[in-house]
Each structure stands twice: as C-alpha cells, then as structure tokens.
Amino acid sequence: MDRVQLEITGISDLLLHGANGLLKVEEQTAGAQTRQTRRQQSDLEIAEEGVYRGENRVICFPQAAFRQAFLEGLKGKVISPKPAGMQRAPSAKTWYERAVFVGDEWCILTDLQGTPLTTYGLDVRRAVNANTGGAIRAVRARLKNWKTVVTLLVDQLVLPVEGSAASLLHNMNCAGVWPGIGSYRIGRGGPFGRFKANLLSVESLDGLQVEEAA
C-alpha cells in the first residue's frame, strides 16, 4: 500500500453545494413563555449551510470528492498494457475503484500562497430543482484562487498491473479537466471545479520512501 500526496490547484472557481433557502425557526423567550418565529434565511446563511468548516473555521472539502472525480474520469478507459492471461483489457474504473482510497476524510482549502481560506464570495443564480423540475434561486459559496493537498492510498496488490505514480497523476489531471469537483462543475454542464494536480510524494506504508517530487 502506497500513500500518494497530490497538490491540487484550481484552474476555475470552486462552487460549493448549497441549500434552497428554507425558513429559519428561532425561539424568543419572554418571561415564562417561549415563542417560535420564522424568517427567511439571508443569502449568507443559505451559502454557509453548504460550507464544510474545520478547526478555527477554516474551509474544508471532502477528499472523497476527488476520488469520485478520479474514478468518473476513468469511464471508458481500459488498463494498459493488458494483463497477462486476460483476453481483453479490463475496465480501468473497475480496477482502480478497488485499489484507490482516500487517506483522510477532509482536506483544507487554501489560497495560492497556502493560507487557509475562511471566507468566500456568494454565487446567486437561477437553477432547476432536480426533484420537481421547477426553477429555484440557488445561493452557494464561491471560492477563487484555491489550492489543497489530497492524500490517496493505492493498493498495488489489487491492480492487475503496476499502478505507477505517473499514471495516477495523469488520470487525476484528466479528472481535473472533466468532470471536476463541486457544484455546477464542468461534468454537470457548468464552468466550475476544474483543477490541475502535481505530485508531492509517494511513500510506502512500511516506511520506505519510494518516490518524492522535487
């Protein structure tokens, strides 16, 4: 099992998932009585519901989203060269989804200088409700000039051929072109969530450093 670290740099804005703007219930106490009131959420409250926060309110993102983009980008591709004993080359997606896992649950989003992000802009646009087909007003957090580090675990025993770091990096860069990550990403018809990947290091979990980027 190898631990692979990739530096991910956004080449388009990242749009986080958001809510539809529900009524917010608040309780007000006057003497011995408590009364509930309802009010429409502000745009900032709606966007904040789709933001993952870590310690010190830094903005995080699920690493599983990068794995999912990696696998989705493998659709239609096959393992090459074809493993010995097989009549035809197996699906790359089928094999990699059994061999590539996330090393951590969350990654911290930073600016291009490496400072963790805590604030964001608002993206407000008309969208279509996937359940009803009706138009809704979508409010989501929008991040510019973003970067992060993603850790993947690669099980070489599962892959039918040796899965090199170069192959992993190439396919992750393909995932950055399509489908991308986040809401209204390139793979869902939008312009958001594109990225590029650079290899930081590859390390055996036995402690042997097998490859490291300069």
Closest CA to 66 of 194, 189, 155, 164: 194
Closest CA to 167 of 8, 9, 4: 4
Domains of the chain, earliest start first: 2-16+51-120+143-212 (3.30.70)
Position 129 scores a pLDDT of 75
Strands (E) in the chain, as ranges, are 2-10, 14-15, 23-30, 33-40, 52-53, 59-62, 100-102, 106-108, 110-111, 121-128, 135-143, 146-154, 195-204, 209-212
Q: Which two tokens stand for residue 17?
A: 């998932």
Distances (CA, A) of 7 to 66, 179, 190: 12, 18, 23
Position 20 scores a pLDDT of 60
pTM of the model as a whole: 0.86
Per-residue pLDDT of the chain (214 residues; tens, 9 = 90+): 889 999 999 999 999 997 665 545 555 665 666 666 666 788 999 999 999 999 999 999 999 999 999 999 999 999 877 777 888 888 999 989 999 999 999 999 999 999 999 999 999 998 877 778 788 888 999 999 999 999 999 987 776 565 578 889 999 999 999 999 999 999 999 999 999 999 999 998 865 555 555 5
- Kindly compute the dihedral angle of the four CA atoms of residues 43, 191, 175, 208, in this order, to the nearest 10 degrees: -50
Q: Is 29 helix (H, G, I), strand (E, B) or coil?
A: strand
Q: How far apart are the C-alpha atoms of 100 and 80, rounded to whole Å? A: 17
